[in-house]
Structure 1
Amino acid sequence: MTSAPSSKSISSSSWRHRAEHARDLGYELALRELKIRYKRSVLGILWSLLNPLSQIAILTFLFRSVVDLKVPHYAAFVFVGVLVWTWFSGAITTAPLAITSNPDLVRRPGFPVVVLPLVTIASNGVHFVLALPVMLAVILLDGGRLGVSLVAIPGVMAVQFLLTAGLAYIVAALHVRFRDTQHLVTMVTMLAFYATPVFYSSIMVPEQYRLLHDANPIAVLLDAYRRILIEGAWPSAAALGGLTLASCCVLISGILLFKRMSINFAEEI
């Protein structure tokens, strides 16, 4: 006689099914967002490359030909900075609208609203992934050194995803109740661009601002990416490990806040 499946195994199977459903749903929503964004566009998703490339070209001209910052391999240096920053800022500035711009989905019974902030990160992450081959080509042409440390790139990307997801959950939840959140996030992100070593080197930061710089999580990410991609070295284990721990804390806090506030999403939007 066969024994009935335990409640534990049933619960595990149910959780796995829900996780797979949420993953597939997130994939479809991210694909839908990309299709809507580039609908009736002649170049389509190529704009995801042209926009950062034009910014990289201007920054390279300014800080190599007009005001020389004397940063080695500057084209590769700024390419990494712009690409990483574009993924982060694009996801964070659109995350506040993740809930408020999808009222029909939020009000649908049983819909996992927890996937919506992740969709903004995934859709912007597609641009990052598509630009990676171009970035690697620029790095090689500009004299950068690619080594075995390249295998660490997915790990650094995962840390960036964790950090961005935590922040995305926070701003998405807050924007449902406080509609100024989107404008505040856009302003803070713009100011943070200049406080982050996207187009200048970390060694140029004056000593009195060093603590502020070291507390900037994107500065830590940029240093890790550049060490791997341009120097062919391994990132600082201590710095990246600390950022991973902090990112996990931000993600857990973000999910808890999101879950608590999501009870009233349907009424508040």
Structure 2
Amino acid sequence: MNRFSYRNPLAWVAFVIAILTGCNTPKNVTYFQDADTAAPLSVATPLEIKIYPEDKLSIVVHSKDPQLAALFNLPIIARRVGYSSQTSLAQSQEMSIYTVDGEGMIDFPVLGKLKVAGLNRRQISDMIKDELMSRHLVKDPTVTVEFDNLYVSVLGEVNNPGRYNLNRDRVTLLDALGMAGDLTILGRRDNVVVIRNVGGTTATYRVDLTKASELYASPAYNIQQNDVIYVEPNDNRVRQSTVNGNNLRSTSFWISLASLLTSVGVLITNIK
């Protein structure tokens, strides 16, 4: 094996590039590195998404008697929810939109004010169904409750940063990162930040994705609406940026690097 030569310009080129770019190791990029341990991993209690003031809900009442059911629905709109891969035609869903007020209430037709804050979708559906039946208003109600504006924001070193709608009762941190296309190779796996509004105050959680035991036990494992997930850049990404805004992709950076290497080559030549 050839040793590093201080008189070899190519060796200096390789040395400088290695210092500037660095490299990722499996230890830095591999998830769940402790998942194969003998001890079973504890998982945070699964949490269903609950409703809070200013959330929006779609609540639709169905019955064998459509005219009777119509008395308990706001004007129904058709909302596009996706596209068929075969027909490319937009699919639609019937929705009656309610906005939860500051006291956690919605104003439901005929039934009046109903408190929904702190309840999940199933609990809201059961409550309305019980009210309709106990008051002898509808004998066979079917109540469909859907989220309308619940979302999570995923920022930083992910492939597709942005805001993503929540349409399931349970969403994990891994689900949210998957929506955003997973972390880039330049994202830190060991320090993913989740920012959450808890009772009017901001709580910050830090999660190490390389440790399954820490991930599954974290309060941030179960995502809630309005959470902000931030993936920090790793050292390689930080190293790519300089104080004057140059980075490894900029023309000025490579011109500067070429000038430096030329100077080094001339210096080495003069030493010979």
Same fold per TM (> 0.5)?
A: no
Please, what TM-score do these two structures have when normalized by structure 1?
Answer: 0.23
Q: Which has the higher contact order (CA 8 A, sep 6+)?
A: 1
Please, what TM-score do these two structures have when normalized by structure 2?
Answer: 0.23
Higher helix share: 1
Higher strand share: 2
Larger radius of gyration: 2
